[in-house]
Chains A and B, each alone.
Chain A
Amino acid sequence: QSALTQPASVSGSPGQSITISCTGTSSDVGGYNYVSWYQQHPGEAPKLMIYDVSNRPSGVSDRFSGSKSGNTASLTISGLQAEDEADYYCSSYTSSNTWVFGGGTKVTVV
């Protein structure tokens, strides 16, 4: 099972919006609405930000939103803040009844 494809890095200025892509295949991202996104700060465990493509867990800022088109899912962070600087990972269910993560994207607030 190959990892989902994410850009290595994305940057933006405070207040801007950025979008992170997560590309898979019809056997994972494109085949199911089971995509989730995680935020990870250095030295910490990942934190769930989006599940089932576009749902936010309780307590997650509404500046985070998710979507999907075909085999590509996206995470958008609007009103970028310094605290959003972190690594972000997508994950998807697969046709093999397993799960796969993306390679991760480092978000920098410049």
Chain B
Amino acid sequence: QLQLQESGPGLLKPSETLSLTCTVSGGSISSENYYWGWIRQPPGKGLEWIGNIYYSGSTYYNSSLKSRVTISLDTSKNQFSLKLSSVTAADTAVYYCARRRGGSSGLDYWGQGTLVTVSS
């Protein structure tokens, strides 16, 4: 059974860089035809797609975050990561990692989510 687990600092100060890692177990992030992505949810609000990375390394980002976001793969550790620079209070959210099969629209496996709070 595939499992995803987010990890990273839960508290950041404004202007710092958010760095989160998603560790995948029960499957390989190098498997062909899968996308690995990040979604966030501010407290009490809806879901926002941040971006995803194809198994080959191609990346796709939300245009509103593109200038601040980087998603990368670490195949040696079976992990993928999210970096979001210059954070503000508006970036406070639960951050989820998830998987999508290529050629399909469904995010079929999700991590449990991790709360990141930005506060001075």
Inter-chain CB contacts under 8 Å: number: 66
* B80 is an interface residue with CB less than 8 A from chain A: no
Is the pair A51, B47 in contact by a Cβ cutoff of 8 Å? no
Q: What is the total number of residues of chain A having a CB less than 8 Å from a CB of chain B?
A: 29
Cross-chain contact B46 with A1 (CB below 8 angstroms): no
Beta-carbon contact of A45 and B112 below 8 Å: yes
A residues neighboring B (CB under 8 Å): 1, 3, 33-36, 38, 45-48, 50-52, 55, 57, 89, 91-93, 96-104
- Chain B residues near A (Cβ < 8 Å): 39, 46-49, 51-52, 60-64, 96, 104-108, 110-113
What would 18 more interface pairs be, CB under 8 Å, given A51-B108, A52-B104, A89-B46? A1-B64, A3-B46, A33-B105, A35-B105, A36-B105, A36-B107, A45-B113, A46-B39, A46-B110, A48-B106, A48-B107, A52-B105, A91-B47, A98-B49, A100-B49, A101-B47, A101-B48, A104-B47
